[in-house]
Structure 1
Amino acid sequence: MPPTARKLAAGPCTRAAVLAAVLLLTGCSGDGTGDLPGGQEAKNATDVPDGGVAAPGGLPALRVETVLDGLDHPWDVAQAPDGTLLVDERGGGLTAVLPDGTARELDADLGDLFADGETGLMGLTLDPAFADNRRLYTCQGVEEDGGAEIQVVAWTVDDGWTRATRVADPLVGDIPVNERTGRHGGCRVRFAPDGALLVGTGDNAVGSNPQDRATLAGKVLRVDAVTGGPAPGNPFADDPDPVTRLLLSYGHRNVQGIAVRPGTGDVFTVEQGTDRDDEVNRSVPSGNYGYDPDGDDGGYDESVPMTDLDLPGAVPAVWSSGDPTIATSGADFVSGAGWGGYHGVLLVGVQKDTGLLALRLDDAGQLVEQFRVPELEDAYGRIRTPLLGTDGALYVTTDNGGDDLLLRVTPAG
């Protein structure tokens, strides 16, 4: 079935072009300035002076433009070296936006997709050597053999951005899924600077999963992107269980974001919490991130802390929301001189009190300051993913359902 062209955004405040050479110099900007919700006492994080909710002075104004509209729950976005953007949708579908602004849906076999609740076609990333091997990776729910699971699948895409073909199907399998509701499916994929593929998974709302190192649910995996096996240097490399050998860390609830800090190799993960804590964590090999909702009756006790510091070796969070939570999701670091005061800041998608959360961290990865990005505050609804593109612009997917957007955010100066 040949790919079809998706309707590009049109109208006075929505432009289809992608690259700076094509973009118009005017665009739409949100003007919300809402504060972070209450509960600023970060239970497992550094206290932030004065609440840290208002954007500090000296930040550049931001221009927000619509690259693509008409999407339905877009989950992730990637940008190729030639400037082409690739976005996926949770219910199925891959759409490329070419450097000239042309958008087209790729012909891709997603006939076995398990899409229910929070699970479907989720994380997406391109191989670091994409210019040479045209290889990309998705993390998705899959129906097979009368059941379902989550898999990491490797694909190649043709030079014309018309077709994606599975080449490792799966690269990583047997990631559990909640077949009844699709709850807590994860699933973010990103590359570490050393070439290992990182995979953040959800615990499927099963209480025993986060602390059980014999399951891939509620974990961060570190895998070889060619073989799907354990990446060299994994912390549990000598464990007799082949599942455990894939793990970088455990004790997670629902890892929805992975971000690598430029120039350091430090990995930070983002988790959606219960009613008491969302979290940002600094990744530590073999770290236990302290979620243990396995109730006495074998149920799923969501009243427990996101990080139980009474557990041996529990790693405290870098940032946590307190009560109420804000439903954090994807994240990326902003870098580049043009970003001014945003340079080096970690931006996190927010899905309850909608917008982008900005976290400034010190060299040791400790929280210094938090604030909200004014131009996106309550302006575009739920934000699933921010991604710093290869062209230095920030690309953002909304997740409202029905008529979602792919946005391009740049300093206005």
Structure 2
Amino acid sequence: MQKHLMAVLIALAIVPAAQAADLTTEKTPVTVNSVTSGLKHPWGMAFLPDGKVLVTERNGGMLIVDAEGNKSAPLAGLPDIDARGQGGLLDVVLSPDFATDNTVYFSFSEPGADGSSTAVARAKLGTDKLTDVKVIFSQQPKYKSNHHFGSRLVFDKNGELFITTGDRGSQRDQAQKLDNHIGKVIRINTDGTPAKDNPYIKDSKAKPEVWSYGHRNIQGAALHPQTGALWTHEHGPQGGDEINIAQPTKNYGWPLITYGEEYGGGVIGKTEQDGLEQPLHYWVPSIAPSGLIFYTADMFGEWKNNMLVGSLKFGQLVRLELDGDKVSHEERIMIGHRIRDVEQGPDGAVYLLTDSSDGQLLRLTPAK
């Protein structure tokens, strides 16, 4: 497991003054080990009960990595995947009843006659293949775009599945309309039907799967360990990455409000507007966040209940201390690779996936 070993310290956090985060120079040294390498743009991971890790690759591969870093051959049985641009095989989670049903859920860019869209399938996990594969959600409508698929998957405490989607890059205005799945948080049952207490379940002018809307591209989502609420982060355009608590019927503003700007410069809407939710925290300049957990183990005692966010742009792990719903302190831990996903292992260590054609699974532990 210990193929590469290095100690890393924090980099100075850059946070807009309006966020009022504590920017002390506290340092948290960590040790980073590479569990395995040679992954092709890995995107999501899930720990199996035996400690092995199920990993997705954006090019359409799903494989299993053991504690020694040995990789299985790609599992057979995946559906057709449109692996282009930001699309491909994306997140993966275990069923809440995995011990008895051996079922996994995964998101991917699904091809179709009109383009592609974010889709979610469930399947039985075998030793070398997936069986009983069934698509349970397909974002509507499809577009000819290779951007902004969202795709994080989170089960809530009642066993319903949250799915994050994006605005597909070219369809930002659709994020404000309820008759589609573009730029939304989706909530469904495990058979794909809308959760019965969804806010628009009886609204004939809205998609019944919609939970919240006005999102740009959510690539981080996790349940708060105490409240059970769904916390998310999403990519801003040029600046304006956001952290939000995704609540039913709430409109998070994209593209009417944002703290970012057009690529290359140019105003997008305003920074605030009545009836639209302000982010709990935002980044200018953008960190390009991907992956999100609340850390709950004891290995990093000072990190208990902190948020950990991966940064694609700066190659960092971002640690956020919370005071209720406010971010009180931000720390940047320099990893040196684009971080696509963050997970807490059963051993209490923090695991990261690095986004490259020679991607790695990294293991973080406290420096000794």
Using the size of structure 1 for normalisation, the TM-score is 0.81
Aligned to 1:407: 362
Task: Name the aligned partner's letter for residue 162 of structure 1.
Answer: D
Using the size of structure 2 for normalisation, the TM-score is 0.91
5+ residue gaps, structure 1, are 1-8, 15-26
Q: Which has the higher contact order (CA 8 A, sep 6+)?
A: 1
Indicate if the aligned counterparts of 2:118 and 2:165 stay in contact, CA closer than 8 A: no
Tell me how far apart the structure 1 counterparts of residues 142 and 343 of structure 2 sit (CA, whole Å). 26
Q: What does 1:315-394 correspond to in 2, within 5 Å?
A: 315-322=277-284, 324-362=285-323, 364-373=324-333, 377=334, 379-394=335-350
Tell me how far apart the structure 2 counterparts of residues 231 and 412 of structure 1 sit (CA, whole Å). 44
Tell me how far apart the structure 2 counterparts of residues 53 and 408 of structure 1 sit (CA, whole Å). 26
Aligned to 2:73: 105
Aligned-residue sequence identity (percent) comes to: 31
Aligned to 2:211: 248
Q: Please state how far the C-alpha of 1:283 moved relative to its aligned partner.
A: 1.8
Q: Please state how far the C-alpha of 1:252 moved relative to its aligned partner.
A: 0.2
Indicate if the aligned counterparts of 2:339 and 2:353 stay in contact, CA closer than 8 A: yes
Q: What does 1:1-400 correspond to in 2, within 5 Å?
A: 13-14=2-3, 28-37=5-14, 40-42=16-18, 46-49=19-22, 52=23, 54=25, 56=26, 59=28, 61-99=29-67, 101-110=69-78, 112-145=80-113, 147-158=115-126, 161-168=127-134, 170-180=135-145, 182-205=146-169, 206-225=171-190, 227-241=191-205, 244-292=207-255, 303-304=267-268, 308-312=271-275, 314-322=276-284, 324-362=285-323, 364-373=324-333, 377=334, 379-399=335-355
Q: Please state how far the C-alpha of 1:309 moved relative to its aligned partner.
A: 2.7
| Higher share in strand | 2
Q: Deviations over 1:220-272 (max 9, x none)?
A: 111101x211113212222124x521111000000111011213212110101
Greater shift in the superposed pair: 332-341 or 247-256: 332-341
1:111–1:248 CA distance, 2 compared to 1 (3 A): closer
Greater shift in the superposed pair: 106-115 or 198-207: 106-115
Indicate if the aligned counterparts of 1:380 and 1:398 stay in contact, CA closer than 8 A: no
Task: Name the aligned partner's letter for residue 163 of structure 2.
Answer: V
Task: Name the aligned partner's letter for residue 387 of structure 1.
Answer: E
Tell me how far apart the structure 2 counterparts of residues 67 and 235 of structure 1 sit (CA, whole Å). 43
Tell me how far apart the structure 2 counterparts of residues 387 and 124 of structure 1 sit (CA, whole Å). 12
Tell me how far apart the structure 2 counterparts of residues 283 and 100 of structure 1 sit (CA, whole Å). 38
1:100–1:134 CA distance, 2 compared to 1 (3 A): farther
Indicate if the aligned counterparts of 2:115 and 2:142 stay in contact, CA closer than 8 A: no
Q: Please state how far the C-alpha of 1:303 moved relative to its aligned partner.
A: 3.0
Tell me how far apart the structure 1 counterparts of residues 32 and 204 of structure 2 sit (CA, whole Å). 51
Indicate if the aligned counterparts of 1:198 and 1:221 stay in contact, CA closer than 8 A: yes
Aligned to 1:18: none
5+ residue gaps, structure 2, are none
Tell me how far apart the structure 2 counterparts of residues 83 and 252 of structure 1 sit (CA, whole Å). 34
Q: Please state how far the C-alpha of 1:355 moved relative to its aligned partner.
A: 0.6
Q: Deviations over 1:95-145 (max 9, x none)?
A: 102356542024323462101111111111111111111111111012234
Tell me how far apart the structure 1 counterparts of residues 297 and 118 of structure 2 sit (CA, whole Å). 36
1:302–1:410 CA distance, 2 compared to 1 (3 A): farther
